[in-house]
Structure 1
Amino acid sequence: MKKFLLLYLIVFAASCAQMAVPTGGDKDVVPPQLVNDHCYPKNGSVNVNTKEIRLEFDEYVKLNDPRSKIFFSPALSTSPDYILRGKTLFIHFNGDLQANTTYTMHMGSAVVDITEGNPAAGLNYVFSTGPVLDSLQVNGKVINALNRNPEKGVMLALYELNQDSAFFKGLPSYLSFSDAQGNFSISHVKSGDYLLYALKESNGNYRYDASGEEAGFFADTIHLNGGLSLGNIEISLIKERREKLFVQKREFFEPGILNLIFSRPYNGVPELFSMNADRQPTAVRNFIKHDDSLQISFSDPLVQSLIVRIEEDSAHVFTDTIMLLRDEKKREKSLQQPLIYRNNFTPYLDIKQDLQLKFDVPCDIIGNDFQLLIDSVRVQAEIEKVDEKTILIHPVQRLAPGSRGILLVGTNLVKDVFGRSISADTLRFKVRNEDYYGALYLDFKLENHPNGILQLINDKGQIRTQWNNPPSTILEFPLLAPGNYKLRYIIDTDGNGEWSPGSVTDRILPEQVILFNQEISIRSNWDLELEWK
């Protein structure tokens, strides 16, 4: 009986254990931390003379490419070896450390916990081979040069003044990273003269060498002497227009649309030649040039490659051959579909706007196969092709606010380069009432620049209105849709009518941007008066 009872209790306990499987708690979001008492030498130690350091963490961790992601400042002459045993990281130096030097180890994302992969990104380990820790600092903020928003996760790097071209070829002497507010602090710096750069890394090598990387620089030499640290530095981040022109990205869309995105804006008219299976070059005429991209349409299904030639001047000639890998079944299916377009007037058409039809591929007007009805009465309208992919329908008379309209489009209105037409459709809309809009009256008293540009920006970052060389008077911004706006003033130093980003390579600062000190809220049927001085 006792044996039976014991067996029953064991089975019952096992059953209970199976039913009570833990469901887990909150997700671990805390990164690994150093247990300083178990580190050798301890964080912040001086007079360090060792070939190996030992760092113990408060949880089990794993390494993620430590040779490229762990960085010592000043940089080590030879990369160390990294060995992980449980919670302890052993770092063996393969070269001699400099005498009387403060070293800071930046762990980046090289050390992560084993449960959720949280990186010890903000964790630094500092020691000195001399009797004191260097204590000088460089503090500041990094922002986007055009919209002046703070930039997070940007590398701020100090280079000794004698490190020629180090930002492009070498490693920084000291570095840090900006926080969510764009603030940064480079600490434990020794006395000396430095250059300061900022870099939004894309390939993890701590160098400004990849196309598309955003960067910036502080124009003045930084002098750190004795107990003098430097603060309140502001660095503007830009995406530089790199000198070399190349195809950065290729996008192929059926039935035969190729988008080429270049490394920078380019000048000159492209020359395009297609090559079919017979290797006979044929000039391509159906293309649309943008500032930094090119859209090409191929109506010939046998085209296998494309030769692109762009001559900006005698010294800058770009040539490339693009291979076209096409899915013929997908192409045929796409050609059987009607032409797709977008419009700017359903369900509402803004006052004083024309009706716009925008296509994804180049199109031609083949007839006046449309009717425009306003409040059930047919009205006269003209059709115009404004670019390769956009047509406008202009009512001859201004449409009354609040009126209701119908646009009837037929299949013989437009045809694209592949011979496709649109489907017949009925598009209903209403012209907005005047009381939907608000207005801004700006008393502009800002000190004007000979080539100043004043811009009103909506909450999507789009330029709603622009004044070149605005007068110092009251400026009116009528018929503004309700929403939030910003005012931006650009000091157009080079007088080209737009903001110029400058050049990190040539150490040319971006053109100065001044933002109005408050966001502007426009309400329907409301006039807002502001002063900017």
Structure 2
Amino acid sequence: MKYFWAAIILIVFSHCANQTSPAGGPQDKKPPELVSSNPANNQKNFTGKTIELTFDEYVKLKAPEEEVLISPSIGKEIKYTAKKNKIIVSTKGGWKENTTYSIAFRESIQDITESNPANNLRLAFSTGSTIDSLEIQGRISEIFKEEIPDKITVALYSSDTFNIFKHTPTYFTKANKKGKFSIKNLKPGKYFIYAFDDKNKNLLVESKSERFGFKKETIEIPSKDSVNVELAKVDARPLKITSFRSSDKISTMRLNKAITSIKINPYLRNDFIYYFGTKQDEVVFRNLKDEFSRDSLQLEVTVTDSLEVRKDTTVYLKFTNSKMSKEKFSVSFNSLNYDSDKKIITQSIRFNKLLSHINYDSVFVQIDSTDFQPIGNQDITLDTLNLTLQLTKKLEGEISTVKPMLYYGKGAFVSIEQDSSRTKTEPVRIPKSEQVGSLAIKVESKEPYYFIELIDRSNKVVLKLNKPKTHTFKNLEPGDYKIRITIDTNNNQRWDIGNYLLRIEPERVFTYKNFDGKTITPIRANWEVGPLVITF
């Protein structure tokens, strides 16, 4: 009897197994195809509240809130549903009258077997009697970076009173992985274009954390011109003083973001001195008196940020009788550079405390056992606001056959708290022609103001030139180099980030590319490269 029931069980399981598709076979690479839609593509006078898409196979949804782009925006009260081979899009408020809508589904709709996304699926329809059909194309990039920024929103604004931090755009899309974008089904008219990193997915620019870029001039649709938008990370928040922290010797003013300059009136040089803290979002006021005063000192302060936006405010400076623990004196030396053509050594140094004085008899260059060349006040440029020092020293005599050394003796630098620096020695490397290479450039440009920088593999500026027409970079260490060009619109010898409030774009920055589209120029020992022709 037990054999009878065993046979029955075997038959049952055999029938169950026969209902399952056999394993293996070719992988399904075919994406789902749209069979029909309501409304149909480019349909006019649509009055429904729900959109229904029918496919040739069962489908599913992947992150539709992020992947599906509906332009113009209808807000967040929208629901996406996958049901067998249908996708249903329903909105609570309905669609605005006499409006053309463009929907890009991107990779949101996929088949259920291999997650193949539907290819370039778009749907356009109108709730009025006409459908807008104009288009704008372009690409985005990021200043100072060669990589294409990912998931960047490109937006059009039709009003000239909009605020990118408060108002959502009229039309929008997202650039693809190659940085290209296209906004379709536009009305004729003039638009402002912005691109930004919409991390919060609210179609608003968050200036503290998001990159954004714009074009200062309006774009008139229709237009056959492609639009290039460059992004930069800008903190456009209004300047604000956030706190004061005081002791008997120091009072620190903190701001909500970094500043580039500060002016104080009245500046009582015998009472206090001021400088940037560890970052440029704090200003340190140093009490120069032996005793502290209980009275507050009223100061008129003007601070300026990177957008050249100024803030005038009144602060009350007051020191207290509390003691602050003494910080260790530190000196940071940047690399020592030598220009063999001009026989000039340069080095920048940063301190964590204000300097009281420099003992110049402890700073010198030893050429050989008999030749000691002193460093004097004329060789030093001191920046008390940034706590930095720039050394520029021209060496005398024959240098090519010796091995000079730069000496900072013990106590060469003394801080305002009377602690001193340690001994530091730096060899001056004299390059030999067979160990280095050169790079020649020729510039062809109608731009009146620009500067060119030679960048090494670590992204360090090797040399900066103002408006050169021809130049040869000599004594280059073997390695890979890039040439960066900045269009210096205001001729101030630095890159300016612009000002969106005044519709001033960031100054253009680009990297030289060869015929193969590569930005790297290799230099080897004893090589002479160029001239490279740079045209802009």
State if a TM-score over 0.5 links the two structures.
Answer: yes
Give the match for residue 379 of structure 1. Answer: 372
One-letter amino acid of the counterpart of residue 153, structure 2: M
Per-residue deviation, 1:216 = 0.7
Question: 1:142 aligned to 2:133?
Answer: no
Give the match for residue 523 of structure 2. Answer: 522
Give the match for residue 400 of structure 1. Answer: 399
Give the match for residue 313 of structure 2. Answer: 318
2:162 pairs, out of 130, 142, 165, with 165
Structure 1 CA distance for aligned equivalents of residues 465 and 394 of structure 2: 28
Structure 2 CA distance for aligned equivalents of residues 236 and 142 of structure 1: 6
Give the match for residue 17 of structure 2. Answer: none
Give the match for residue 188 of structure 2. Answer: 192
Summarize the Cα distance change of 1:480–1:462 in structure 2 as closer, same or farther, 3 Å threshold: same
Are the aligned partners of 2:450 and 2:491 in contact in 1 as well (CA < 8 Å)?
no
Are the aligned partners of 1:214 and 1:238 in contact in 2 as well (CA < 8 Å)?
yes
Give the match for residue 473 of structure 2. Answer: 477
Give the match for residue 416 of structure 1. Answer: 415
Structure 2 CA distance for aligned equivalents of residues 297 and 111 of structure 1: 60
1:181 pairs, out of 175, 178, 186, with 178
Are the aligned partners of 1:169 and 1:207 in contact in 2 as well (CA < 8 Å)?
yes
Per-residue deviation, 1:404 = 3.6
2:263 pairs, out of 269, 281, 285, with 269
Summarize the Cα distance change of 1:312–1:377 in structure 2 as closer, same or farther, 3 Å threshold: same
Summarize the Cα distance change of 1:263–1:357 in structure 2 as closer, same or farther, 3 Å threshold: closer
2:449 pairs, out of 452, 456, 464, with 452
Summarize the Cα distance change of 1:400–1:245 in structure 2 as closer, same or farther, 3 Å threshold: same
Are the aligned partners of 1:136 and 1:191 in contact in 2 as well (CA < 8 Å)?
yes
Give the match for residue 231 of structure 2. Answer: 237
Per-residue deviation, 1:200 = 1.9
Are the aligned partners of 2:273 and 2:286 in contact in 1 as well (CA < 8 Å)?
no
Are the aligned partners of 2:255 and 2:281 in contact in 1 as well (CA < 8 Å)?
yes
Give the match for residue 125 of structure 2. Answer: 128
Structure 1 CA distance for aligned equivalents of residues 278 and 189 of structure 2: 44
Structure 1 CA distance for aligned equivalents of residues 156 and 94 of structure 2: 22
- Match of 1:72, SS state, is strand
- After TM superposition, the score normalised by the length of structure 1 is 0.65
Deviations 1:209-254 (A, max 9, x none): 6357522126343323xxxx745222233566959444699999xx
Question: 1:287 aligned to 2:287?
Answer: no
Structure 1 CA distance for aligned equivalents of residues 202 and 293 of structure 2: 40
2:357 pairs, out of 365, 385, 390, with 365
Summarize the Cα distance change of 1:240–1:422 in structure 2 as closer, same or farther, 3 Å threshold: closer
Are the aligned partners of 1:136 and 1:190 in contact in 2 as well (CA < 8 Å)?
yes
Are the aligned partners of 1:455 and 1:464 in contact in 2 as well (CA < 8 Å)?
no
Structure 2 CA distance for aligned equivalents of residues 323 and 155 of structure 1: 47
1:215 pairs, out of 210, 213, 216, with 213
Summarize the Cα distance change of 1:125–1:447 in structure 2 as closer, same or farther, 3 Å threshold: closer
For residues 12-27 of structure 1, the aligned pairs below 5 Å read none
Per-residue deviation, 1:127 = 5.2
Summarize the Cα distance change of 1:221–1:366 in structure 2 as closer, same or farther, 3 Å threshold: closer
Summarize the Cα distance change of 1:297–1:54 in structure 2 as closer, same or farther, 3 Å threshold: farther
Summarize the Cα distance change of 1:251–1:109 in structure 2 as closer, same or farther, 3 Å threshold: farther
One-letter amino acid of the counterpart of residue 226, structure 2: N
Are the aligned partners of 2:144 and 2:509 in contact in 1 as well (CA < 8 Å)?
yes
Where structure 1 has 5 or more consecutive residues not aligned to the other structure, the ranges are: 3-32, 113-117, 275-281
For residues 94-133 of structure 1, the aligned pairs below 5 Å read 94-99=92-97, 101-105=99-103, 126=123, 128-129=125-126
- Count of matched residue positions in the alignment of Structure 1 and Structure 2: 463
One-letter amino acid of the counterpart of residue 171, structure 2: Y
Structure 1 CA distance for aligned equivalents of residues 216 and 426 of structure 2: 55
- Match of 2:414, SS state, is strand
Summarize the Cα distance change of 1:61–1:401 in structure 2 as closer, same or farther, 3 Å threshold: same
Structure 2 CA distance for aligned equivalents of residues 532 and 38 of structure 1: 53
Per-residue deviation, 1:353 = 1.1
- Match of 2:263, SS state, is coil
Give the match for residue 296 of structure 1. Answer: 284
Summarize the Cα distance change of 1:406–1:498 in structure 2 as closer, same or farther, 3 Å threshold: closer
Structure 2 CA distance for aligned equivalents of residues 251 and 142 of structure 1: 43
Q: CA RMSD in A?
A: 5.6
Deviations 1:312-363 (A, max 9, x none): 79x9513468999xx98xx74x63x453432424xx8664314554323322
For residues 327-366 of structure 1, the aligned pairs below 5 Å read 332=325, 335=327, 337=328, 339-345=330-336, 351=340, 352-354=344-346, 357-366=349-358
Per-residue deviation, 1:176 = 1.3
Deviations 1:366-395 (A, max 9, x none): 533457544555623225442243264858
Summarize the Cα distance change of 1:349–1:516 in structure 2 as closer, same or farther, 3 Å threshold: closer
Summarize the Cα distance change of 1:109–1:89 in structure 2 as closer, same or farther, 3 Å threshold: same
Summarize the Cα distance change of 1:197–1:45 in structure 2 as closer, same or farther, 3 Å threshold: closer
Are the aligned partners of 2:437 and 2:524 in contact in 1 as well (CA < 8 Å)?
yes
Per-residue deviation, 1:81 = 5.0
- Match of 1:126, SS state, is strand
Summarize the Cα distance change of 1:464–1:430 in structure 2 as closer, same or farther, 3 Å threshold: closer
Are the aligned partners of 2:239 and 2:255 in contact in 1 as well (CA < 8 Å)?
no
Per-residue deviation, 1:259 = 8.6
Are the aligned partners of 2:207 and 2:237 in contact in 1 as well (CA < 8 Å)?
no
- After TM superposition, the score normalised by the length of structure 2 is 0.64
Structure 1 CA distance for aligned equivalents of residues 418 and 426 of structure 2: 27
Summarize the Cα distance change of 1:241–1:317 in structure 2 as closer, same or farther, 3 Å threshold: same
Deviations 1:411-454 (A, max 9, x none): 422222343323345x353523232443333344x2444x3223
Structure 2 CA distance for aligned equivalents of residues 151 and 62 of structure 1: 21
Per-residue deviation, 1:163 = 6.3
Summarize the Cα distance change of 1:463–1:94 in structure 2 as closer, same or farther, 3 Å threshold: same
Are the aligned partners of 1:156 and 1:196 in contact in 2 as well (CA < 8 Å)?
no
Per-residue deviation, 1:155 = 1.6
Where structure 2 has 5 or more consecutive residues not aligned to the other structure, the ranges are: 3-29, 305-309
Structure 1 CA distance for aligned equivalents of residues 242 and 461 of structure 2: 27
